Amino acid sequence: MTRIVTDDDLDGLVDTDALIAAVRAVHLDEALGRAVQPVPTLTETGPDTVLLPMIATSHRLGLTAVKILTDARANGPGDGPAQQSTIVLLDARTGARRAVLTGGRITRERTAAATAVATDALARPDARVLGMIGAGPLAVEHVTALRRVRDLHTVQVWSRTADRVAEFRTALRKREAADGVAPIEVRAAADPRAAVEACDVLCTVTPSRTPVVEGVWFRPGLHVNAVGAPPRPDHREIDSAGMARATVVVDSREIQLAKSGEVRLAIADGSTTPGHYATELGDVLAGRRPGRTGPEEITLFNSVGVALQDLAYAALALDLGP
């Protein structure tokens, strides 16, 4: 019998530490040939809507995930969020359908878990201040996950409105109380530059089409997680100078070259070459390629989000591990 799982069913179900470990494991699996995920094809389904079917198979877990993601940036109040997704989980050998899951909560939590894995691998061990560009639900998930891998004491957050920052603070305090952790200090940054220049680890979690962060602001030793841009090759949060200044690690090289605006636009204007994006997170975890090589190096994890992360979450939530 197929299990139907909603966001409400998943509320509080998956432990953050366990999810970080599961996401780390599937990235390592891909590097070691125990998992595969082809490059998805972007299809226009409306005047301003695209559909992205994302597929991944874990041979270790014996599961295949098919995520159907839509990005409808013109959605109004009655249309639902701009991004919506559904995940179908299959038995990799027989093709039998194991579960159908709504993807909103899964996407937020597995994205933050992947950022935590990358931050643990790439950020300086003494990182204490987190910078956050964007203050929505994804920002709350990132603070929660990153506190599991670094002893952070302050988050410098910037959003376009003071109300948004206030909502972020309230949501974060509620999450901290539920998790039983001490409140982290939250400071509102006057502008994106102030947030960048004050932090050791930076997360960008906006759906921006044009860069909100400039590479000239990067301090030596900074680690950046570029997370928020939707799967459109003309959207990016980090400018070309930022991509060129940093040692870049990606979640999937081929998928990045196909659909990451940060990558494609920096290559198009000559700031970088495809070789700049040769290192995948799994390669760093497996010790096949270096990540950070010195305390002054600027590192950047460019995240487009991949179906293996959704698969890892679903397997954990449904207790389908080995």
pLDDT along the chain (322 residues), means of 10: 91 95 98 96 88 96 96 86 93 96 96 98 98 97 98 97 97 96 97 98 94 98 94 90 98 94 97 98 97 97 96 93 61
pTM reported for the whole predicted model: 0.96
CATH number for the domain formed by residue range(s) 124-305: 3.40.50.720
CATH 3.40.50.720, the chain: domain bounds: 124-305
Residue (of 209, 253, 216, 204) closest to 231 by Cα position: 209
- In single-letter form, the type of residue at position 172 comes to L
DSSP secondary structure code for residue 216 in this structure: G
Distance CA 58, CA 127 (A): 33
The pLDDT, as a whole number, for residue 232 is 79
DSSP secondary structure code for residue 274 in this structure: G
DSSP per position, 13-44:
TS-HHHHHHHHHHHHHHHHTTSEE-PPP--EE
The pLDDT, as a whole number, for residue 322 is 61
Residue (of 48, 108, 109) closest to 234 by Cα position: 48
Distance CA 7, CA 292 (A): 36
Cβ neighbours of residue 279 closer than 8 Å, sequence gap 6 or more: 247, 248, 249, 250, 253, 289, 290, 291
The sign of the CA dihedral 184, 194, 224, 316 is positive
The whole-angstrom distance between residue 280's C-alpha and the CA centroid of its chain comes to: 14
Residue (of 128, 121, 181, 120) closest to 151 by Cα position: 128
The pLDDT, as a whole number, for residue 321 is 61
3-class SS at 221?
A: coil
Instruction: Find the helix or strand (DSSP H, E) in which 249 lies.
Output: strand 247-250
CATH 3.30.1780.10, the chain: domain bounds: 3-106+308-317
Cβ neighbours of residue 9 closer than 8 Å, sequence gap 6 or more: none
CATH number for the domain formed by residue range(s) 3-106+308-317: 3.30.1780.10
Residue 121 phi/psi, 5° resolution? -80, -25
Distance CA 162, CA 169 (A): 11
